[in-house]
Amino acid sequence: MHKLLIFIISAITVLYSSETVAQNSAQTSFGQSSLFNDGWIFVQQDAEGAELPVFDDSKWMSVSVPHDWSVKGPLSPSNAACTGFLPAGIGWYRKHFSGRSLTSDKVYIYFEGVYNRSSVYLNGHLLGTRPSGYNSFMYDLTPYLDRKGDNVIAVRVDHSRIADSRWYPGSGIYRDVWLVQSGATHFSLWGLGYSAASISDKQAIINVETSVENLPSASSKFTLDLAIRDTEGKLVAKTSTKADAKQVTTIKLKTPHRWDINDPYLYTLEATLLNGKETVDFAQTSLGLRTLEFNADWGFKLNGRNTKVKGVCLHHDAGVLGTAVPDEVLERRLKTLKSLGVNAIRTSHNPQAPVFYDICDRIGLLVMDEAFDEWEFNKKKWVEGWNVGTPAFDGTADYFEEWSERDVKDMVLRDRNHPSIFLWSIGNEVDYPNDPYSHPILDGGNFEFNQPMSGGYKPDAPDAMRIGVIAKRFTEYIHSIDTSRPVTGALAGVVMSNQTEYPQAVDVVGYNYTESRYEKDHSTYPERIIYGSENRHGFADWKAVRDNGHIFGQFLWTGADYLGEAGVWPARGSGAGLIDLGNFVKPRGRFRAALWSETPVCYIGTYLKPQVSTGRRGGFQIPDSPEAWDSWNYEDDQTVRVVCYTNAASARLMLNGKEVGARTPHNDETGIIGWDVPFTSGTLKAEGFDESGAKVSEYEIKTSGRPFSLKATADKLDLDAGGSVAQIVVEVLDEAGIPVKLADNAITCIVEGGELLGLESGDMSDTGVWTDNVQRVFKGRLVAYVKSGMNPGTIKVRFTSPLLKSAELTLSTHSI
């Protein structure tokens, strides 16, 4: 009898209102919250006494949060490659605000994320510190709040350890900040959660867990009302019970509509705390229902349907925007990935912003929520370039023992109500051999790891047996809060970890890059549930999942290019993604779509035929080669290799209406169909056919002339006032209107009536200035991010380039 884990899930997520003020819009599960993002001032230095109300901040810079100061600094080879050659340091934020309108009994401030080592003060009083740059946290302002006059909130951010992360983490208050008002008695922070006792087609029985702060001991008049509404607002279930400080209340829902990746249905839950007939507190969230099953032999089932997880890992930056990523940009990224066939995201390697999970809930993406990249010892941080030179060893280990329990519990409490989350991860590659842990198994030629190691067993290194001890502790923490999802870890050194208790401590076991051990360990450990927690983009790596029922999925490294973990200067970051920093799909993204998408896919890329054999079967380059872009500009009669990425049964190639590449069946050795063609200018088209011979897909590219004009296309022309963001794609066209994909023209952007947040081309090698309004296109395009102001009106956006026809757009902004 092999291991089977069944999880019946009822999950909730906060509904974000379009209003500035709304119940629980801060995802706190209590009170009334309002965004506290505007009116901050900032200085990038360690200003002594800046926590005091009388401090002179008149010369500080005005900013709005979310704000990432590092991305606005110059790239320099004197900074660290691991964090994208961008600066760090210490910064202070201050905000002056009146307490006159804050009439509620309790007033709190809620930070979604501050990187990192923050200290928060109100009117000179220290409210608390939080070293983690990724966890959300809240402080009670009430004891020190002046309700009759002015107040000063001050935040010190200490990111002086410039090489403290293996990727770019950003610096500052880079997520939303909220002010939360409530009565003295209210639901607790993240005090609303659930699980489902059972789900069938006829009925769901849902256990709602609530906790209440400051509930009077004589609370006989306090009641808890629960109601569920369907997507159209119709009341479909309700119950009422006496309120306790902590309780579990059962509510029954008839004929439940399940949440699924192809049908992400969300109900609305309303929770009301009453004292007699008086409403004391109110919470409104969305609710999703689904079941999860994991099995050592047949993998994973979602709602009873066997499902292969087609996942990607994601860091949290967006190129020129750094880590202060607008919701619209994040949503475009996630929707683009889903359009390629992606159905799951791994939050590498930390909790992300609350809105990330809301979007995944709404569009139907599974999420593996990850807590840590390192535990009690710091990993290597490459300063000169990835795997180059002498590493640094800054990181988070100095506060691990004090804060790790709270950090992992806070992650689960905050995020547990999202139906998208199906796995909790307690760490990434914490078992990397000799970085830092070691074990005698490393001697004797046991080198089946994802990267070469520096020598064998190191007796002076930390003992690898510690990994299992810590893993058991974290698993217990998570299970004490949520038993509705399994706990996992992403193992880098499976051979070493097999000698420890780590694989047994978690519910399902992630293997990073070690596909060669799938069959071997399935045989040796038949109860172990295995999947690929981090994987390369190769076709063989996917086939190891596709062709093995007991491997339930993989997570590619990565879904999107990211800043940091850069090579040697000049470089900005890693180009490992399916999409680039501007959220444009790369050739490897097209190839992945051909493997993963359930809709017809056809794409062609080209490059000069190699003069020397690549050594790969069929002679084709690897599908993620940066040369396989969809360009058709060569010299006459040059022999060009044309590669076709398609999920059609066969494909043929047409040039100017004539067949130049015979219809060829799908190649299950390479995943690619290809032809060698003498170049002739014109239109090159691939056509895909199904098994019956019917054409099901096509893709064409055209020879372009010289750059002639600019074309600007916005994702929306109507914006909400108060910070809505338009994403404008700018392309270089020739005189016939054909995109010039070889263009690298410099574009200038002028915005009137709004704010230019940045121009992003996706070029990883460009280490020039990214903070002005001029940028070169890459592959003939870039994206401009334009933010609306506070008031309704129009925004005029103009793009120019020397010798090219300009492009203009007018955006309208409206009151919310």
Residues recognised as catalytic: 429, 534
Contact (Cβ atoms closer than 8 angstroms) between residue 665 and residue 674: no
How many angstroms separate the Cα of 111 from the Cα of each of 39, 403, 675?
16, 17, 55
Q: Which residue has the tokens 């008049």?
A: 221
Alpha-carbon distance 616 to 521, whole Å? 29
Q: Give strand pairing partners of 752.
A: 796
Alpha-carbon distance 271 to 292, whole Å? 26
3-state secondary structure of 505: helix
Nearest to 545 by CA among 342, 346, 308, 311: 308
Alpha-carbon distance 195 to 289, whole Å? 9
3-state secondary structure of 35: strand
Nearest to 696 by CA among 706, 688, 704: 688
Q: Which residues contact 787 (CB under 8 A, 6 or more apart)?
A: 326, 723, 724, 725, 726, 754, 755, 756, 757
What backbone phi and psi angles, to 5 degrees, belong to 334? -65, -40
Write the DSSP string, 712-778: EEES-SEEETTT-EEEEEEEEE-TTS-B-TT---EEEEEEESEEEEEEE---TT--S--SSSEEE-B
Burial letters for 600-610: b for 16+ Cβ neighbours within 10 Å, e otherwise?
bbbbbbbbeee
DSSP class of residue 579?
B
DSSP class of residue 393?
-
Q: Does residue 103 have a cis peptide bond before it, meaning omega lies within 30 degrees of 0? A: no
> How many Å separate Cα 178 from the centre of its chain?
21
Q: Using alpha carbons only, how large is the chain's radius of gyration in Å?
A: 27
Helix (H) or strand (E) holding 201: none
Residues in the chain: 816
Identity of residue 796: K
Contact (Cβ atoms closer than 8 angstroms) between residue 629 and residue 779: yes
Alpha-carbon distance 799 to 707, whole Å? 14
3-state secondary structure of 779: coil
Q: Which residues contact 57 (CB under 8 A, 6 or more apart)?
A: 41, 43, 50, 94
Nearest to 349 by CA among 407, 262, 416: 407
Burial letters for 337-360: b for 16+ Cβ neighbours within 10 Å, e otherwise?
bbebbbbbbbbbbbbbbbbbbbbb
How many angstroms separate the Cα of 32 from the Cα of each of 104, 561, 581?
10, 37, 36
Alpha-carbon distance 574 to 566, whole Å? 5
Cβ neighbourhood burial of 734 (10 Å; 0-12, 13-18, 19+): middle
How many angstroms separate the Cα of 407 from the Cα of each of 2, 135, 533?
33, 7, 22
